[in-house]
Chains A and B, each alone.
Chain A
Amino acid sequence: MLTYAARRLIDLLVILFGVSVLVFLMIRLIPGDAVQILLGANTEVTPAQIAQLRHTLGLDQPVFVQYGMWLSGILRGNLGQSVWTGASIGQEIMARLPVTLELTVVPLLLASALAIPLGILTASWHNSSVERILRFLTIAGITTPAFWLGTLFIYVAFLIAPRWATIGYVPFSADPLGHVSRMVLPVIALALPLLAGLIRILRSSLLEVLGQDFIRTARSKGLSERRVLYGHALRNALVPLLTVLGIQAGYLFGGAIVVEQVFAIPGFGRLIVGAINERNYALVQGSILVVTAGFVLINFLVDLLYAAVDPRVEYG
């Protein structure tokens, strides 16, 4: 188990290095740089001044020199500074990460908690009319993007209760009630499509497991239907659910980015989108590196969880 974990850790570092090179090159392949964006169109600036600004920002250095400086900074634990404001990128990311994590983890927990009972329900009411209605709802849920639900929620909220509808963000520490009230709609908007997907997966994997030989054996031993379902079937049906959860966590992160835009929540997504628009290279690179690290870590954890849930998974 330990060597397995160590080997996965080395994989993780190699992936991060590859990503750092790719991100570095990709953002520089996009035309336009920070100076162009800052000055925009129609400013009264001379080419000499543009050159001076570029020099101040170190953008006139060869790309590999810029990369070397960035990498050596990271190895010393310094992600660099924001181009214009001089703010520390590490600090900026740490300020934003909790917001987006909340928008990822809360919907994830909420959806998984609801998916298990609802999945069992749809599986055990197989071919009933209740199941048909649930199936319709889940398909609708899967096909509806979170940002569209978000916009819909805002409209409806202002239509029904304009005095209570809120947009924006306040930190939990500053105003707990205000924080929760502002997070409810985005969390639901993100959880619903995920929930629908999880129900579908659990239903089909439960149905598949319930048709297998060992279930027949268990039934023939005279076990109650409850014990068959919870003791034997569910445990086996959870493995595909876990895989999907791992992948969905990534999608959820992406969904959170768009939902942040709709609800004006200052999360990681807004940070990255803004940084790309401003060609704030160091900020884009640092953020994407952190996101990648997050993804690889989640995958790593999912792999470890497999082993815990299903003893047939071996440490390869």
Chain B
Amino acid sequence: MKSHLGILIMSVALMGTAAAQQVERGGTLQLAVDQSPVGLDPHVATAFSTFVVTGQIYEGLLDVDANLKIRPLLASKYTRSDDGLTYTFTLRPGIKFHNGDPLTAGDVVYSMNRVKDPKIASPLASRLSAVTSVKASGPLQVTFVLSKPFAPFLSEVATIAIVDQKYVEGGGNLQRAAIGTGPFVFKQWIPDTALVLAKNPSYWAKGQPYLDGLKFNIVPDASTRQIGLQGGTYQFLPNIDASVAATLKTAPGVQLLRSQDLAYSLLGMNVSRKPFDDPRVREALNYAINRPEIVQGVYFGDAVPGGPIPPALKAYATPVNNFPCYSYNPAKAKDLLRQAGYPNGVDFSILTFSTIKTVSDAAQVLQAELAPAGFRAKIDIQEFGNFVQNWRNSNFDAFVSLNGGSVDPDGQLYRTVVSGGSTNVFKYKDPAVDALLEQGRSTTSNGSRVRTYAQLERTLACRGPAAFLAYGALYSAARTEVRGFTPNPTRSLAALKTTWINR
């Protein structure tokens, strides 16, 4: 009898939790973001303010999940030929664009060629640089042929949005209106006010999304967004600063959703200028940085020091205690500077900007930390547009910034440090590093890739052109009634399709 009662109580309790976990449908989620999108064309406007919105409307062949695993999305499966040169994707049947057009292999071919088209000048074009041809090998089958084996191919091609060929060729302006296959349908864009999306009633994943719609309210003032969340006007603030997260931690009715960020803060050096042309000076600078102090002072304790590869890429990242220069040692730094011919220390200026608080904070903490070792830094805070121009033209001694990370070590390192790479603003040139980078992208054997990147990390960590500072935690803040959202290290908000509001 007693045991029966126990079972009864237990099953009631279980029913209770099951009921609490029951998804509720309906409602529009009120998000607050800081910036208007600069246009909606997912192949042209790649700014983050556009990406958070278009990511709900468009989908790629594959997706990167919260554990950074690549998994099927529009393509249900793919095969790779033994020589690594041919990839064949099979599309899910019965998927429709928001205007009712069926998704075909032709749309995928069209989308890829649109990204490659020089006239479109898509910033994503380099993701397809290894692709020599894309062909429809069946109504729902697409074959990519590569010029050489390219290990990061899947992660590069995965998230390129598939657009409707008929709609675009029929004169649809993708910058103003969007037609995709995603869980939410573009409804209205009121410039500088809001972007409204509605549920896609015929979304291919049955039962999703749970919400009736999303409203991205554009609220430029950070304190207004924060008060609005606390007051309940807004329910979701995606990807907030560490300092905002710290103040919202104890706010009633608010929860913080945490993930590890792929983006990293760095102090970049111009190796074509004195004093950073000397690898010993770059190593000295690394010794002069107190990384735990940056984690405390800039990230409020919620970050990890990391090397050239994000700790979130567990298979590749080398633990930082393998890099001796990551332990704070101003005496050693001074010694290295003396060896490099700077017994009285060096003067240099740090280029930076103020729109991301983490960045300007890091610059100030660094300035103080570097001084005892003989690095006398002057901080040059510029307006963002100005910063980007000087950054692109390598017009700096050093800079402090936040770089977006990648889900593949090749994406993380190749274009940044390869000789003449598109974002190698450091002007760094090292034939040995170039050879390793080529090897890393052309081998498809996992074991050999891991060894290659471990060697690259050792080469770059102390004497490379960038002093890697820290990888922060990535926070979104939401009202407690918001359920089912899993933050993604890539900052993607794809999980909004399984988000629901508990009423």
Indicate, yes or no, whether A interacts with B: yes
Is B270 an interface residue, CB under 8 A from the partner?
A: no
Chain B residues lying within 8 Å of A36, measured Cβ to Cβ, are: 385, 388-389, 392
Q: Are A44 and B227 in contact (CB under 8 A)?
A: no
Residue among A56, A167, A273 making CB contact with B233, cutoff 8 Å: A167
CA distance A279 to B389 in the complex (A): 12
Given A86-B173, A154-B227, A166:B233 Cβ within 8 A: yes
B441 to chain A minimum Cβ distance, whole angstroms, is 13
1/0 contact string of B384-414 vs chain A (CB within 8 Å): 1111111110000000010110000000000
How many residues of chain A have a CB within 8 Å of chain B?
A: 48
Q: Are A151 and B191 in contact (CB under 8 A)?
A: no
Does A52 reach chain B (CB closer than 8 Å)? yes
A78 at the interface (CB under 8 A from B): no
How many contacts between A and B, using CB within 8 angstroms? 138
Q: Are B388 and A168 in contact (CB under 8 A)?
A: no
Determine whether the beta carbon of A274 is less than 8 Å from that of B401. no
Q: Is A32's CB under 8 angstroms from B385's CB?
A: yes
- Return A264 CB to nearest CB of chain B, in Å: 4
- Does A315 belong to the interface (CB within 8 Å)? no
Asked if B221 CB lies within 8 Å of chain A CBs, one says: yes
Tell whether, in the assembled complex, residue A264 and residue B126 are in contact, meaning their CB atoms are under 8 Å apart. Answer: no
A18 on the interface (CB 8 Å rule)?
no
**Which of B103-111, B116-124, B236-244, B445-453 binds A?**
B116-124
Query: Which residues in chain A, 128-170, are within 8 Å of chain B measured between CB atoms?
Result: 151, 154-155, 158, 162-163, 165-169
**Interface core residue of A46, A85, A163, A261 (most chain B CB under 10 Å):** A85
Task: Provide the residues of chain B in CB contact with A52, threshold 8 Å.
Answer: 118-119, 121
Q: Which of A43, A154, A167, A270 is within 8 Å of B123, CB to CB? A: A43
Question: In the complex where A261-B221, A271-B192 touch, is A85 in contact with B126 (Cβ < 8 A)?
Answer: no
Q: Which residue of A lies closest to B233 (CB)?
A: A167
Task: Confirm or deny: A30 has a beta carbon within 8 angstroms of a beta carbon on chain B.
Answer: yes
A1 within 8 A of B: no
Q: Considering the complex, which residues of chain A in the window 249-274 have a beta carbon less than 8 Å from any beta carbon of chain B? A: 261-264, 266, 270-271, 273-274
Whether A41 is near chain B, meaning CB under 8 Å from some CB there, is yes
Say whether, besides A49-B121, A53-B121, A40 and B388 are in contact (CB < 8 Å). Answer: yes
By beta carbon, the residue of chain B nearest A264 is B219
Cross-chain contact B45 with A84 (CB below 8 angstroms): yes
Instruction: Report A-chain residues with C-beta under 8 Å of the C-beta of B207.
Output: none
In addition to A53-B121, A85-B176, 20 A-B residue pairs with Cβ atoms within 8 Å of each other are A31-B390, A38-B45, A38-B47, A41-B391, A44-B127, A48-B118, A52-B118, A52-B121, A56-B119, A56-B121, A162-B231, A162-B232, A167-B219, A264-B218, A264-B221, A266-B193, A270-B220, A273-B220, A277-B385, A279-B385
A-B contact pairs, 18 of them (CB 8 A): A32-B388, A37-B385, A39-B388, A41-B403, A42-B401, A44-B123, A44-B422, A44-B423, A45-B422, A46-B126, A48-B118, A49-B122, A85-B39, A158-B227, A168-B194, A264-B219, A270-B192, A277-B384
6 nearest interchain CB pairs? A32-B385, A266-B192, A84-B39, A158-B231, A32-B389, A162-B231
Which residues of A approach B to under 8 Å, CB–CB? Answer: 30-32, 36-46, 48-49, 52-53, 56, 84-87, 92, 95, 151, 154-155, 158, 162-163, 165-169, 261-264, 266, 270-271, 273-274, 277-279
